[in-house]
Structure 1
Amino acid sequence: MDEKLLANIGLNKYESSVYWTLLKKGDLEASKLSQLSRVPIGRIYEILRNLNKYGLVEIKPSRPRKYRTVDPKIAFELMYKRREEEALNELKLLREAFAEIERQLSSDDSPKQVETIFWPDKFHDDELEETVNSFFEDIEHEICVVTPSKYKPGVSEQYDDSMSVFSKAYLNLAQRGIHVKILDSYSQLLPAIKELINSIEDESVKNRSKEFLEIRILETKHDFVIFDSKILFLDIEDQIDAGTSLGMTQIHDESYTKRFKAKFDDLWTKGKQFNFT
């Protein structure tokens, strides 16, 4: 079986590896399963709980406790019905969200200039880096970023794969003298930036990077980016494939963006300082 097919039914990299290992090897203890699937032991029980929740894996009543796959024919049918119901609910929520957005846009306090940008199905070569840099080149003073808990490692492959690009872009901004303030929910961004900063040999450049780049840790569902307290970016999440971004809404309205900046400042006071060393 092509393991990519498991990603198509919604399993992330670790979940696919554990499930495929159980399919091939049969009943296994968690420790042995961690070893064979190459999933860290610290994550294995979380992954097994997820697979059990999906109806793909069950706990065998034995000592020591073992895990086994549910008959795929039965599990996949139930999973399909559940996903179908969830998709219909998501589409209903999406329609309601569109209606609410239209209502707010028609009100007096709605943003005046709104642009929606959709990402391609896949960025090619340096296309993502060029896109990010083109957005960042006009920043003059400050960028405020809120990374939500949905982007923790292993949850969104799309986000994980983009971290090397964004970490370099944020570091470049800091070295330009742009204040970079990031509220992060323990995403892949943290080790990516830390590795980049620690690799800088010139101490003056390293100190300048740390001076203008500040990260605080805060578990949050908020997800937005602000340029110079003037431009607001809101993520457009794929309602069918959760954890994947379809694009973003770009709002050029300083008075409207100030409301989000006030929210960011409030969240910022609650964040815990991230140590680069």
Structure 2
Amino acid sequence: MDDKLLANIGLNKYESSVYWTLLKKRELEASKLSQLSRVPIGKIYEILKDLNKYGLVEIQPSRPRKYRAVDPKIAFELMYKRREEEALNELKLLRETFAEIERQLSNGDSPKHVETIFWPDKFHDNELEETVNSFFEDIEHDICVVTPLKYKPGVSEQYDDSMSIFSKAYLNLAQRGIHVKILDSHSQLLPSIKELINSIEDESVKSNVQKFMEIRILETEHDFVIFDSKTIFLDIEDQINTGTSLGMTQIHDESYTKRFKAKFDDLWTKGKRFNFK
């Protein structure tokens, strides 16, 4: 089965592997299921618990405990009805959020020069890389980045796939002499940047990159990027398919951005320095 089909119904890589294995084998113990699906035994029970919550897997009252895939016709119908109800509630929340944003923007303290940019349904070829580079080319002095917990590996395929592109872009900024400060929640960005830096053969170039790039580790829900203490970028999370991004809000307002810079500085003092070696 095409993994993308299972991803479209909200299953991550591990969940897809376990569910597809049960569909083929019907009923298995957790240890055997871990072996056949190639999901680590330390993860298998958490994955099975989630699949049971989705209504895709049922637990057999046996010793040792066995797991069985629910008839897809029944499971998918129940999942559809549950998702339909969740979608309606999320759309209601989204409308209420829009109304609240409009209310706040109507206040005197609201930011000026606000622009909303929506991503395409799918980036083609080098489109995402070109988009990121186009945003970064105007940076003159520094960039402050906060990557939240939702960027942790395996949480979102969209975020995982984009990390290599962003790591190259941040490295290019450092090579240009732009100060790059990243506060990271153990995302895929860390090994990607580390690999890129370690691949640099010229020690003087490597040393210069490390001079202009500093990363600290702090698990946080905050999610924003600041350019030159003038412009702030806020992620717009898709309320229908959580874990994916619809686009971003770009705010050009120095006085408004100062509040976010103060927050960044506060978080920065709490972060633990990341070692590139």
In structure 2, what is the equivalent of residue 140 of structure 1?
A: 140
Q: 2:46 and 2:171 mapped to 1: Cα distance?
A: 33
> Residues 229-268 of structure 1, C-alpha deviation per residue, up to 9 Å, x if partnerless?
1100011111111111111110000001111111111111
Give the partner amino acid of 2:50. Answer: N
In structure 1, what is the equivalent of residue 232 of structure 2?
A: 232
Determine helix, strand or coil for the equivalent of 2:117: strand
Q: 2:129 and 2:118 mapped to 1: Cα distance?
A: 16
Q: 1:67 and 1:174 mapped to 2: Cα distance?
A: 51
- 1:168-247 → structure 2 map (5 Å cutoff): 168-247=168-247
Length-normalised TM-score, structure 2: 0.95
1:3, 1:20 within 8 Å by CA — same for their partners in 2? Answer: no
Q: 1:183 and 1:65 mapped to 2: Cα distance?
A: 42
How far apart are 1:59 and its partner, in Å?
Answer: 2.5
> Residues 34-77 of structure 1, C-alpha deviation per residue, up to 9 Å, x if partnerless?
22222233433332222122121222233333322123233222
In structure 2, what is the equivalent of residue 39 of structure 1?
A: 39
In structure 1, what is the equivalent of residue 250 of structure 2?
A: 250
Q: 1:182 and 1:26 mapped to 2: Cα distance?
A: 46
In structure 1, what is the equivalent of residue 124 of structure 2?
A: 124
Report the number of matched residues: 277
In structure 2, what is the equivalent of residue 72 of structure 1?
A: 72
Q: 1:58 and 1:220 mapped to 2: Cα distance?
A: 34
Give the partner amino acid of 2:179. Answer: H
> Residues 144-165 of structure 1, C-alpha deviation per residue, up to 9 Å, x if partnerless?
1111111211111111111111
How far apart are 1:84 and its partner, in Å?
Answer: 1.5
Q: 2:176 and 2:95 mapped to 1: Cα distance?
A: 42
Length-normalised TM-score, structure 1: 0.95
Give the partner amino acid of 2:234. Answer: L
What percent of counterpart residues are identical?
89
Q: 1:257 and 1:215 mapped to 2: Cα distance?
A: 21
Determine helix, strand or coil for the equivalent of 2:108: coil
In structure 1, what is the equivalent of residue 18 of structure 2?
A: 18
How far apart are 1:8 and its partner, in Å?
Answer: 1.5
In structure 2, what is the equivalent of residue 270 of structure 1?
A: 270
Q: Using a 3 Å threshold, how does the CA distance of structure 1 residues 154 and 106 change in structure 2: closer, same or farther? A: same
When the two chains are superposed, the root-mean-square deviation of aligned CA atoms in Å is: 1.5
How far apart are 1:4 and its partner, in Å?
Answer: 2.4
Give the partner amino acid of 1:71. Answer: D
How far apart are 1:95 and its partner, in Å?
Answer: 0.7
Determine helix, strand or coil for the equivalent of 2:251: strand
1:182, 1:216 within 8 Å by CA — same for their partners in 2? Answer: yes
How far apart are 1:136 and its partner, in Å?
Answer: 0.5
How far apart are 1:32 and its partner, in Å?
Answer: 2.4
1:144, 1:182 within 8 Å by CA — same for their partners in 2? Answer: yes
Determine helix, strand or coil for the equivalent of 1:215: strand
How far apart are 1:170 and its partner, in Å?
Answer: 0.6
